[in-house]
Chain A
Amino acid sequence: MRLVVPLQGVAQGRGGLLLGSVIPCALFCFLQLYFKRRRSPSDPPPPSTSSSNQPEMTRHSSLSNLLSRGPLRISSLATSIAKPDDSPYYMGLDKASEDPYNRIANPDGVIQLGLSENRLCFDLIEKWTSENLRDWVMGREGGDLSISGIATYQPYDGTMKLKMAMAGFMSRVIGRDVSYEPSQMVLTAGVTPAIETLCFCLADHGNAFLVPTPYYPSFDRDMKWRTGVELIPVHCRSKDDFVLSISVLDQAFNQTRKRETKIRGILLSNPANPVGNLLSREMLEALLKFAEEKNIHIISDEIFAGSIYEEKEFVSIAEVVGSEDVDKNRVHIVYGLSKDLFLPGVRVGMIYSFNENVLAAARKLTRFSSVSAPTQRLLVSMLSDTKFIVEYIQTNKKRIQDMRDLFVAGLEELGIKCTDSRSSLYCWADMRNLIPTYGEKGELELWEKLLNVGKINLTPGSACHCIEPGWFRCCFATLDKEDVHVVMERIRKVVGSRTSCG
């Protein structure tokens, strides 16, 4: 303060000072006056020796100190996260959950087509649990999963019993000759922390991952929020059926390098979300070669692997890695039970890696998001019932196919075509002809109309970073068959019925 006084005197009483000295002086002056005004005239200097034995003085000075200390700061992260989500993906989800459709209780509610859940076989799971888990908590005395076993601390990365059960389930669900090694698994409380944990292991703050677009909107949150990594979109187009190509990937890689941002890996979804297409074996091999050349990782999100119903084959990257002479250390798979078994509430996700160092790091990090022990017990019982699992997988695939056929046919009647992907719990609908203006603005206008007037929540392509406007993801596996025509009627009300040429 003493330093400022002479300058203040100089600045206040003078005119005609050179510009270079006026501005800093003015700034000093402004700051001093500003703080002077904020401080109460009768306030003692900030107490460094005040004792808590003088509550009155403490209270007075604490209040005034509060005023003089400026705004309370929380982390920059919290400040940005606490703001309401303005992405249409989240806004739509919120609206649908606030006013949920129910055929009987709330027939005018919002129909949720924005959540890629699979409710088609839930009746089978309900039946199994009521018949088989009367004593799920108690179990046999002793062992990992007896009652005294589950209450106590478990390995943070999941019990070996559950890992073995998951390994068996994954092999069956994918239906090919791939076996998964339980010791290469790290279990987490859902796929969300699995992806985040992998990011923490593979990338530092400011590093980047290449992600083919369109991609799952929540990656922006799950992967970026707390890790500080960047996601670089690699744009795929409708002329290529939204299939990734190495040349486009290479271009994105080089452009990012020019900005001096370090790329740590590629994040793939296979089956893709939201488009639903599959990566061919040749493409996976090419991607592995690319990753090796550039010395980066590949994360393959295979959470929808069990939703494929056509004869068309799904090839897990685990299979390609197993058979080729490739560097396995850069390959990591993410999986979970939320889609295939439809138990998203119980929170079970998995990192599957061939890299011992990544596994070691991930195991330590899972202390922040481990699977609840009673849930582990429930799932070990369920997944070990081979007969049930085989029947479930077959029935599930059939019902997904039936529902998809019904839904896609309904859209076609309205003149809306979907991409030819024979997998997953959603379809990628081409509504480019229906948006009022060609662009993101036009797409969002249609989305809003569908949500607020039509009362159906779809996911607009822009929320998925799709470079071409007019595409929408429609999740059909949360519907009952009877509701499909309700959906079509509502879409018709909003867009009218057009032929595919009109």
Chain B
Amino acid sequence: MEIKRKNKTQLLSKIATNDRHGENSPYFDGWKAYDNNPFHPTQNPNGVIQMGLAENKLCFDLIKKWIMENPDASICTAGGVDKFKDVAIFQDYHGLKEFREAIAKFMGRVGGNKVTFDASRIVMSSGATGANETIMFCLVNPGDAFLVPSPYYPGKLCRFARDLRWRTGLEIVPVDCKSSNNFRITRAAMEDAYEKAQKWNLNVKGIIIANPSNPLGTTLDIETMRSLVAFVNEKNIHLVCDEIYAATVFDSPRFVSVAEVIQDMDCCNRDLIHIVYSLSKDMGIPGFRVGIVYSFNDDVMLCARKMSSFGLVSSQTQYLLASMLSDDGFVGNFLRESSKRLAKRHYVFTKGLEQVGISCLTSNAGLFFWMDMRLLLKEQSFEGEIELWRVILNEVKLNVSPGSSFQCSEPGWFRVCFANMDDETVEVALNRIRAFVLNRENQESNRSKRCWRKKHLRLSFSSTRLYDETIMSPCMISPHSPLVRAKT
């Protein structure tokens, strides 16, 4: 019986049984907490508010309106049925021509019409998840490495790392970015990471960046982009740009696609440059599963296209989106409205937090902001960060994402998603955070007073035993404690 049971477990592959999917990480608790007790304004007002999922629900009404006004696009009505036959049987992995053209045009618009994308280079995949994995299958052999500026998106469930690493066997080497310069990607940091990888005998195949960044919500400036392109050209490694939040930019500076940057760089080897795109974030339709791989490298493009058999976009979806994205009036209005609404929501949250002394990284894009909670940590460490996160999750009932889950090198930062809720929920969430922050500060201040009193009493005796007790006291001495001042 024992042998049989053992045999049964051995029957599965390593991929099926390893933990590279990341879902066993402790941050899964956040999702569980939300699933078990989801917030609802009337039915469950004390439930957990989901602020850990970067979904864009702000402009859904615009999409709904367009679909209602354009029933033929759905191909299942009397008006659209002529197209039904051609569309329903279409399973060519090149994708519908109208779909590719519409996507290329949309990507160009999102990039400010500074660059034209070639429709024949558009390759489909099943969401950005599929696109990221496909590009890695094309570029890396198992055991190869990619540099990734941190903080980066493994997300709570280590999704990014999972998407890139799980089945491809890729290793990730973080490029550490610091809050002291607003987490900018510097040349020195890239060189450091590259050297580190070499010391570990890893074959670095490329660097993958997200622009706009997840979780930071910032766009890369042109100089940094040029520096990246120069870096990869020097090292002869690939540059993969994940631009899935490109249309969520709501403030200056404007979004600059890597496609635009390389237009002016004659020295750039275009075979190194690849873009991952998706409609899930910009348009808020993750359920449609639309991912795009756009590579300037012909071999990679050919390979990715053949692999798209493993995750083709439903032809019905292709047709619907081709119609929608070809409607110039709709697209223009959508992009304008989306920016406006994101800007407003971002403002409401960040201003609300400022009022209680919580600052956020200045950001101009994304469906989230990067919140600085370092002052609220009981301990300036990742353990302190997790402790704070658990309190926010279990007591404040907000599912936010701790910075350590994004491999941030400094503790105390949290990603907060704001675009997946309505205005009323925003109010509730803000009130909860405000109340929590004030309460925590009070607690800290009370605790430090108690600590000070205790220590003050202890110091009046010179017993060794009491001295030992002081050292082993669980309370943390506040940096403002007179004890500290006395020592220095």
Contacts and interface: CB of A to CB of B under 8 A. Distances in A.
B233 A62 contact: yes
Nearest to A49: B191
A344 B77 contact: no
A247 interface: no
Interface stretch (B312-320, B395-403, B462-470): B312-320
B16 A358 contact: yes
Contact of B310 (A125, A203, A368, A378): A368
B472 interface: no
Contacts of A52: 187, 223, 226-227, 230
Contacts of A171: none
A221 B75 CA distance: 32
Contact of A346 (B71, B227, B266, B315): B315
A426 interface: no
Contact of A74 (B233, B289, B297, B307): B297
B1 interface: no
A244 to B, nearest CB: 22
A204 B91 contact: no
A63 B12 CA distance: 48
B167 A136 contact: no
Given A48-B191, A117-B89, A136 B307 contact: no
A72 B269 contact: yes
Interface string A72-106: 11111111011000000000000001000000000
A380 interface: no
Given A153-B286, A369-B311, A345 B16 contact: no
A225 B139 CA distance: 14
A90 B120 CA distance: 21
B327 to A, nearest CB: 16
A345 B316 contact: yes
A220 B17 CA distance: 25
A347 interface: yes
A129 B233 contact: no
Interface residues of A, number: 90
B295 to A, nearest CB: 10
Interface string A127-138: 001100110111
Interface stretch (B130-138, B353-361, B362-370, B429-437): B130-138
A189 B76 contact: no
A119 B90 CA distance: 12
Given A72-B269, A133-B77, A329-B8, A370 B316 contact: no
Nearest to A361: B16
A75 B137 contact: yes
Interface in B278-317: 284-290, 297-300, 302-303, 306-307, 309-317
A65 B234 contact: yes
Looking at chain A's contact residues, the main secondary structure is helix
B138 A204 contact: no
B89 A201 contact: no
Given A74-B300, A200-B167, A202-B13, A152 B55 contact: yes
B11 A330 contact: yes
A148 interface: yes
A147 B85 contact: no
Contacts of A264: 11, 13
B129 interface: yes
Interface stretch (B59-67, B372-380, B442-450): B59-67
Contacts of B475: none
B89 A375 contact: no
Nearest to A51: B187
Given A52-B226, A201-B16, A150 B289 contact: no
Contacts of B21: 364
B68 interface: yes
Given A138-B68, A189-B312, A378-B76, A226 B91 contact: no
A97 B92 contact: yes
Interface string B1-31: 0000001110111111100010100000000
Contact of B127 (A133, A134, A370): A370
Contacts of A73: 205
B300 A78 contact: yes
Interface string B67-102: 110010011111001001101111110000000000
A443 to B, nearest CB: 26
A207 B285 CA distance: 39
A358 B205 CA distance: 32
Contacts of A364: 21, 23
A473 interface: no
B412 to A, nearest CB: 29
B282 to A, nearest CB: 13
Contacts of A221: 306, 309
Interface in B192-230: 205, 223, 226-227, 230
B289 to A, nearest CB: 5
A133 B74 CA distance: 9
Nearest to A153: B286
A419 to B, nearest CB: 28
B191 A189 contact: no
A329 B11 contact: yes
Given A48-B191, A65-B234, A66-B269, A368 B14 contact: no
Nearest to A343: B88
Contacts of A404: none
B299 A82 contact: yes
B314 A371 contact: yes
Contact of B311 (A193, A204, A225, A329): A193
Contact of B316 (A61, A97, A134, A375): A375
B307 A225 contact: yes
A184 interface: no
Interface in A35-55: 47-48, 51-52, 55
28 contacts: A58-B230, A65-B233, A72-B236, A74-B297, A74-B303, A75-B139, A75-B144, A76-B141, A81-B303, A119-B89, A137-B320, A138-B64, A138-B68, A147-B67, A151-B285, A152-B55, A189-B312, A193-B309, A200-B15, A202-B16, A204-B15, A221-B309, A225-B307, A345-B91, A368-B311, A369-B311, A370-B127, A372-B316
Given A74-B238, A134-B71, A372-B316, 20 more contacts: A47-B234, A52-B223, A58-B230, A66-B236, A66-B269, A74-B299, A78-B299, A81-B303, A81-B306, A82-B300, A130-B76, A134-B78, A190-B91, A345-B87, A347-B91, A368-B130, A369-B310, A369-B311, A372-B287, A372-B313
What 7 A-B pairs have minimum CB-CB distances, sorted nearest first? A345-B315, A373-B287, A361-B16, A133-B76, A372-B314, A78-B303, A69-B236
